[in-house]
């Protein structure tokens, strides 16, 4: 089976879409000759030239504003912010402009653009280059939020995001760029808002996002050796969120844990837990719902402290065993 890295899958989605559709272009900092901070756009400027692979000054607000203006005039731009931390500099453009325009114009205007950005810790990049801020945008009506965890999903979800008529925040974890997986050569789309059961089980449901999907799968293999069968669900799109597979899984297992890297306070896990408690799955719960998330601290530079700041495989295993064995 054909395998690509996560970064290669993203590049292939961009290349294929740009060849097929002249309204699609890329814009961002160092995405041209340099090929992007993590190499996703490497070589694309040689194929499409500087008019479609546009290097910008170091201004996240400016490149996001350019995306909005281009989208309003019929283009489908793909913007790139080098580190998610600096999406903070584009908040006015995203929250007050992009997210509101279609609603305020009664649907007569649309803003079809994707803003790609790498997030997460694990590279020793310290507190200002390691944050996971996805839930800030989950909170904003008018924005969609996507977090693929595999190369296959990265390619299919990016293409779907490009052809969505709303602004999409597309969050890519830094540690996933070099991971490999099966990716078909032909173009394909994965519909936004379609959660996926990536591992079936009967004893515990784990809802995980981004890099935590891979860690949860590793934990599930370890837990299987002691007789605990874990079902792992990847929402893939955080907003709009497809709860159907999650509710069905919780009704089957009776226990659920939500795992994400972002800090626990105000994190995505709280939203998932609330929706489970509001659903018919509540009557099937046999234990309190558990959230396992990052500590409420800035990400440390020290690599040992950094690893302790966010959930690791061992943490998932320990908390899952407590939840299934009645440790609460």
Going along the chain from its start, the domains and CATH numbers come out as: 3-182 (3.40.50.970), 196-325 (3.40.50.920)
Residue 73: the pLDDT is: 97
pLDDT in tens, 173-199: 999 999 999 999 999 999 999 999 999
CB of 169 within 8 A of CB of 143? yes
Residue 328: the pLDDT is: 52
77-102 mean pLDDT: 97
CA distance 298 to 221: 31
pLDDT in tens, 34-75: 999 999 999 999 999 999 999 999 999 999 999 999 999 999
> How large is the greatest C-alpha to C-alpha distance in the chain, in angstroms?
60
Which residues, other chains included, contact 179 with Cβ-Cβ below 8 Å and sequence gap of 6+? 5, 6, 150, 151, 214
The residues that are catalytic are 60, 129
pLDDT band at 159 (very low <50, low <70, confident <90, very high): very high
DSSP H or E run through 88: none
Residue 1: the pLDDT is: 85
pLDDT in tens, 126-143: 999 999 999 999 999 999
229-233 mean pLDDT: 98
pLDDT in tens, 234-266: 999 999 999 999 999 999 999 999 999 999 999
């Amino acid at each position: 089976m054909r395998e690509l890295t996560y970064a290669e899958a993203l590049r292939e989605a961009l290349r294929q879409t740009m060849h097929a559709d002249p309204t699609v272009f890329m814009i961002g900092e160092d995405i041209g000759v340099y090929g992007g901070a993590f190499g996703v756009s490497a070589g694309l400027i040689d194929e499409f030239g500087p008019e479609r692979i546009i290097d910008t000054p170091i201004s996240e607000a400016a490149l996001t504003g350019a995306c909005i203006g281009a989208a309003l005039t019929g283009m489908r731009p793909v913007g790139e912010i080098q580190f998610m931390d600096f999406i903070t500099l584009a908040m006015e453009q995203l929250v007050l402009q992009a997210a509101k325009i279609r609603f305020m114009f009664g649907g007569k205007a649309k803003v079809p653009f994707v803003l790609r950005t790498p997030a997460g810790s694990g590279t020793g990049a310290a507190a200002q280059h390691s944050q996971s801020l996805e839930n800030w945008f989950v909170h904003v009506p008018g924005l969609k939020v996507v977090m693929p965890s595999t190369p296959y999903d990265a390619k299919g979800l990016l293409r779907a995001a490009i052809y969505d008529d709303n602004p999409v925040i597309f969050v890519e974890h830094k540690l996933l760029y070099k991971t490999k997986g099966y990716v078909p050569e032909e173009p394909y789309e994965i519909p936004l808002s379609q959660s996926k059961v990536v591992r079936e089980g009967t004893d515990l449901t784990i809802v995980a996002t981004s890099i935590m999907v891979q860690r949860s799968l590793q934990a599930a293999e370890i837990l299987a050796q002691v007789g605990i069968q874990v079902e792992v669900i990847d929402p893939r799109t955080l907003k709009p969120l497809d709860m159907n597979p999650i509710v069905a899984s919780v009704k089957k297992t009776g226990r659920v844990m939500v795992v994400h890297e972002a800090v626990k306070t105000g994190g995505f896990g709280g939203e998932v837990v609330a929706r489970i408690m509001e659903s018919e799955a509540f009557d099937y719960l046999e234990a309190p719902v558990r959230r396992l998330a990052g500590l409420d601290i800035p990400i440390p530079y020290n690599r040992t402290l950094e690893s302790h700041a966010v959930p690791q495989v061992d943490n998932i295993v320990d908390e899952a065993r407590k939840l299934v064995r009645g440790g609460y």
